[in-house]
Amino acid sequence: MAQFNLPPNSRVQKGKTFAAPAGAKNVRRFEIYRYDPDSGENPRMDKFDIDLAECGPMILDAMLKIKDEVDPTLTFRRSCREGICGSCAMNIDGTNTLACTLAIEDIKGDVTINPLPHLAVVKDLVPDLTHFYAQYASIKPWLQTRTPAPPDSERLQSKEEQELINTPSACILCACCSTSCPSYWWNSDRYLGPSALLATYRWLVDSRDEATGERLDELEDPFRLYRCHTIMNCTYACPKDLNPAKAIAEIKKMLVERRL
């Protein structure tokens, strides 16, 4: 049964407020989820007033400014700052996205930042993604073949065949989609979630892959695939404009078609 309330140790309390420096011109408030595993205290929301006149344009710029100048203990993942590594995925203004590709000016009012939803929090904005990665590994995200490769060339694809895998291959495994999905919140122990299913789709439509039957067999289960109820949060959350919901629908179609 779905658990709608947070467990007692997870309820978020009021935190500290860090005022903007005197003479700040363009102040914006950032409310950020904090959890310190060493304190034994519940998570809290800290408020940081930041002068945007002295800050880069993206949410990630503001977070780095806070870490550099206000509170060096603020903890989050980040790396490429250009939307290709997927590290800085978090819930900003109620929607999962990447902090590096979202502009501060695209958010009206206070900026609320939470960790990706319904995950165990390691510290501040760093959630535990072990299970998410294990699910990705479970779909065997590599080329599986039975026939030997051509002796004098690689396994070639036509341009059209390549285009089928082009878009789903652009997934950066940031987990924005899976952790936006209410079905994944309540059933992630058995439901694969949009990210792993999009990855499955990428291998199902790969003209070189010869394990299509086995891959589909793995999804013939009440939970792994069919917990998708087309809520569409995944598609609206994806920072790479991919469409996991459509990929899942295509997989459901494949399962029907192979019975006909």
- Binding residues for other proteins, per CB under 8 A? 4, 6-7, 9-10, 12, 33, 35, 37, 42-43, 91, 93-95, 112, 114-122, 127-128, 180, 182, 185, 229-233, 235-236, 243, 245-246, 249-250, 252-253
Rounded to the nearest whole angstrom, what is the least distance from the CB of residue 4 to other proteins in the complex? 6
Rounded to the nearest whole angstrom, what is the least distance from the CB of residue 185 to other proteins in the complex? 5
DSSP string covering 138-198, please?
HT--S---SSPPPTTS-----HHHHHHHHTGGG-----TTGGG-HHHHHHTTT--HHHHHH
CA nearest to 56, candidates 73, 69, 72 = 69
Rounded to the nearest whole angstrom, what is the least distance from the CB of residue 24 to other proteins in the complex? 28
Asked whether 59 and 113 are in contact (CB, 8 A), the reply is yes
Q: Report the C-alpha gap between 33 and 147 in whole angstroms.
A: 52
| 140 versus 252: smaller Cβ distance to other proteins | 252
| 81 versus 91: smaller Cβ distance to other proteins | 91
Rounded to the nearest whole angstrom, what is the least distance from the CB of residue 142 to other proteins in the complex? 26
Rounded to the nearest whole angstrom, what is the least distance from the CB of residue 180 to other proteins in the complex? 7
| 62 versus 113: smaller Cβ distance to other proteins | 113
| 20 versus 43: smaller Cβ distance to other proteins | 43
| 24 versus 231: smaller Cβ distance to other proteins | 231
Q: Which CB contacts under 8 angstroms, 24+ apart, belong to 227-231?
A: 227/183, 227/184, 227/187, 227/190, 227/191, 228/181, 228/183, 228/191, 228/194, 228/197, 228/252, 229/183, 231/181, 231/182, 231/183
